[in-house]
Amino acid sequence: LVEAGALAFFKDLQPSASDFRADVLAGLRKPQKAISPKYFYDAAGSAIFDRITQAPEYYPTRTELALLERIGPELNTLAGSGAVVLEPGAGSSVKIRQLLDALDHPAGFVGMDISGDHVKAACADIASDHPDLTVGAVCHDFTQTLDLGALSIPEGRRIVFFPGSTIGNFELIDALQLLKTLRDWLRPGDALLIGVDLRKDPSVLEAAYDDAGGATADFNFNLVRRINAELNGDIDPSALAYRAFWNPYRSRVEMYLQALRDFHFTVAGERFVLRDHETIHTENSHKFTVATFQDLAVKAGLIPAHVWTEDGACAFSIHWLE
């Protein structure tokens, strides 16, 4: 009996719980307290992120999906038939469906995400909807090295798909490193298809990252809940407020949890203090112009071959790099 829609493989390269503890403690010891945004994405956080993408103020998801739909025929021409799509940070895979639907007979799809259950479920759904596609799932933190040879990636032209402007979450130096890593996944003829959010009116940006419905704030508070639950923490969420603002000097939205008063807390047996107005930096979302992003891509050894943009208030870009 052939199991319809089964995954061709699932590989668990899940980061260990001790990484989470060590990273959080190291981040809280810094003069500017900081926690990596990758820790937003446990099962609950991934679900809250899906709510963010539905918020009326959060334009990137809608805009990128519409742009992907518009350029589908061109992507199909560039990809040819039998392409194999690799998606680091696949999440719930809404965009990959759009891409797969645009392509003629894609041969394979490998979704990778730091949230193992989330990526497994999303990839299994894709497999059942595309019976001819070889689908694999990998639980992996894409900031860590990955030996692609250890995965059973199907043969065919590889398209590394990195939508959502996730590249914007990284400091520029780390974004450069990540682009180099993704470039190393490419062979001649392969391509990196990447979504990059563009600079725009600060009021649009600040609303997108602090939606009135409170999904983005809840996303940040989920990190507090996660620390309290998994690292035996006692952070009082009512002593914190979520803040997001546009930093024009660094061309990014910066996100913080800010103390509303002095308070002490414990995480994994270690004592910390936050003074009134002091912040925990949780995330950056860099915004580019087509030129500033292409300059970065070139520094990473990639060749900008095509770019498509959505202009106007919700500007966004998609790049085909070789």
Summarize as ranges the residues that interact with ligand AVJ (CB under 6 A): 52, 60, 164-166, 168-169, 209, 216, 219, 283, 285
Q: Which residues lie across from 139 on neighbouring strands?
A: 12, 113
Closest separation in Å from C-beta 73 to ligand AVJ: 26
**Helix (H, G, I), strand (E, B), or coil: what is residue 80?**
coil
Q: Which is nearer to ligand AVJ, 108 or 164 (CB)?
A: 164
Q: Which is nearer to ligand AVJ, 163 or 233 (CB)?
A: 163
Closest separation in Å from C-beta 285 to ligand AVJ: 3
Closest separation in Å from C-beta 221 to ligand AVJ: 12
Q: Which is nearer to ligand AVJ, 219 or 265 (CB)?
A: 219
Rounded Cα gap, residues 63 and 311, in angstroms: 10
Q: Which is nearer to ligand AVJ, 115 or 165 (CB)?
A: 165
Q: Which is nearer to ligand AVJ, 216 or 279 (CB)?
A: 216
Q: Which is nearer to ligand AVJ, 83 or 175 (CB)?
A: 175
Contacts of 82 (CB under 8 A, 6+ apart): 105, 106, 107, 156, 157
**Which of 156, 183, 194 is closest to 75 using CA atoms?**
194
Q: Which residues lie across from 272 on neighbouring strands?
A: 265
Closest separation in Å from C-beta 169 to ligand AVJ: 5
Closest separation in Å from C-beta 165 to ligand AVJ: 5
Closest separation in Å from C-beta 144 to ligand AVJ: 17
Q: Which two tokens stand for residue 73?
A: 């025929």
Count CA atoms closer than 13 A to 214's CA, side-chain side: 4
Q: Are 168 and 288 in contact (CB under 8 A)?
A: yes
Contacts of 14 (CB under 8 A, 6+ apart): 114, 116, 139, 140
Residue 198 carries which DSSP code?
B
Rounded Cα gap, residues 243 and 281, in angstroms: 10
